[in-house]
Structure 1
Amino acid sequence: MAALFTGKVLMANRERDEVETERELGRALENKVLLLYFGSGQCPRCRQFSPLLKDFFLRLTDEFYVERASQLVLVYVSRDETEEQQSAFLRTMPKRWLAVPFGDTFKRELELRFAVSEVPAVVVLKPNGEVIVGNAVEEIRRMGPACFRNWQEAAELVDRNFLLAEDFDDWSRRSITDPIRRLKYKLDKKTEMKNKERKEEGEESS
């Protein structure tokens, strides 16, 4: 997914920091469903939808609602008329959101690439950049957080529950298949131990 943003800059809503290095982008976007939210703080339809999207996102990622955040990242692609309007809007949104900087022509590239003609629009992407849903606004309105499970299955994400707690710090440096290999190793090891116990029991009985 980071390939979509190669050579680009994203803003972290938490402290308005830039997220621009390949490693930073990889860590932020790898193995996650990506939502591109095209909207504006001044658009009446967006003002109605944005609180729903905020609640949707928080219920999937905030520790108040879930034990572990879902594999979900959102990038705000603004149609605000001024940088002040964009900043004011983002201050009301979750701190985990990312945003394309105001005035960046990349916003127009994204609109053309994903055929966004009106707002609000939420484009749902797999980690490899393939489109899962062209505009999920109505799906989010109708189903709420439940629709994430469908996206997760479509994206074929590696379940992070396979990872050990101490592995999360350097997840970005690991292969995406590492958790699967570790699980297979544990299963093979368990089978080996059982076979060894059976062999010892057989020797004792003889």
Structure 2
Amino acid sequence: MVFMHFKIFFFNSIFKKKLKMSGRFANIGLKKNEDGTLVNGGEVLKGKVVALYFSASWCPPCKSFTPVLADFYSEASEMGLEIVFVSFDRSESDLNSYVKSHHGNWLHIPFGSEHIQQLAKEYDVRGIPALIVIKENGDVITKDGRNEVSSNPPKAVMANWKKSVSS
């Protein structure tokens, strides 16, 4: 875990680009978990509340939280939530295995994409698992998405997040 914190800190200090949904995400290819198809991030995230899920298959707390998030998503997706998995897995096969065996039907950034570290820097991710909920333009709604998802029903959480999108 210490190595992961160092790795995130190291990359956060190198990458300077600011990644916003309204700009760069419009041209980012995201993979669908169900079949691996690449889709345009700007199109599939338009009008959605977006939860960036920073996680990895080798992380025990991530493995505990992922099923909770998958259950939450099964209800909240109908209310306008889209999850984008941002993987810190060490190999593409680890990522693919984790996605197929543990995840809901959400999107993920392809393995090895420069956007993984850019997002970690943009949202100051210091450890995993982290669930950062953002507006379509990239502004943060909450950095405490993990706690909110774990302790509240989807309907209440989504109402709160959607209210933040409007303000």
Normalised by the size of structure 1, how large is the TM-score?
Answer: 0.66
> Based on CA coordinates, which of the two structures has the bigger radius of gyration?
1
Amino acid at match of 1:37: Y
CA gap of 1:78–1:36, structure 2 versus 1, over 3 A, is same
For residue 80 of structure 1, the aligned residue among 89, 104, 109 is 89
Post-superposition Cα deviations, 1:106-161, rounded to whole Å, max 9, x if no partner, equal: 1001000100010000110112211000231111111131211100111129xxxx
The residue number in structure 2 matching 1:17 is 37
- How many Å separate the matches in 2 of 1:154 and 1:137? 17
The residue number in structure 2 matching 1:114 is 123
Tell me the matched-pair count: 145
Matched, 1:28 2:50: no
Does structure 1 retain, via aligned residues, the 8 Å contact 2:50–2:82?
Answer: yes
The residue number in structure 1 matching 2:165 is 155
Which structure 2 residue ranges, 5 or more long, are not aligned?
Answer: 1-20
Matched, 1:39 2:55: yes
Higher relative contact order (CA 8 A, sep 6+): 2
Amino acid at match of 1:44: P
Post-superposition Cα deviations, 1:150-173, rounded to whole Å, max 9, x if no partner, equal: 00111129xxxxxxxxxxxxxxxx
The residue number in structure 2 matching 1:57 is 73
For residue 100 of structure 2, the aligned residue among 67, 91, 95 is 91
Amino acid at match of 1:54: A
Offset at 1:26? 3.4
Amino acid at match of 2:134: L
Which structure 1 residue ranges, 5 or more long, are not aligned?
Answer: 62-68, 158-206
- How many Å separate the matches in 1 of 2:50 and 2:23? 13
Does structure 2 retain, via aligned residues, the 8 Å contact 1:4–1:129?
Answer: no
Does structure 2 retain, via aligned residues, the 8 Å contact 1:38–1:122?
Answer: yes
Task: Give the share of equivalent positions with the same residue, in percent.
Answer: 32
Does structure 1 retain, via aligned residues, the 8 Å contact 2:53–2:130?
Answer: yes
- How many Å separate the matches in 2 of 1:7 and 1:31? 16
Residue aligned with 2:54, SS: strand
The residue number in structure 2 matching 1:180 is none
For residue 113 of structure 2, the aligned residue among 104, 115, 124 is 104
Q: Which runs of 4+ in 1 moved over 3 A?
A: none
CA RMSD in angstroms, aligned pairs only? 1.6
Post-superposition Cα deviations, 1:75-126, rounded to whole Å, max 9, x if no partner, equal: 000011111111011113222x111100112100100010001000011011
Does structure 1 retain, via aligned residues, the 8 Å contact 2:53–2:131?
Answer: yes
The residue number in structure 1 matching 2:27 is 7
Amino acid at match of 1:5: F
- How many Å separate the matches in 1 of 2:94 and 2:107? 16
Offset at 1:2? 4.7
Amino acid at match of 2:55: G
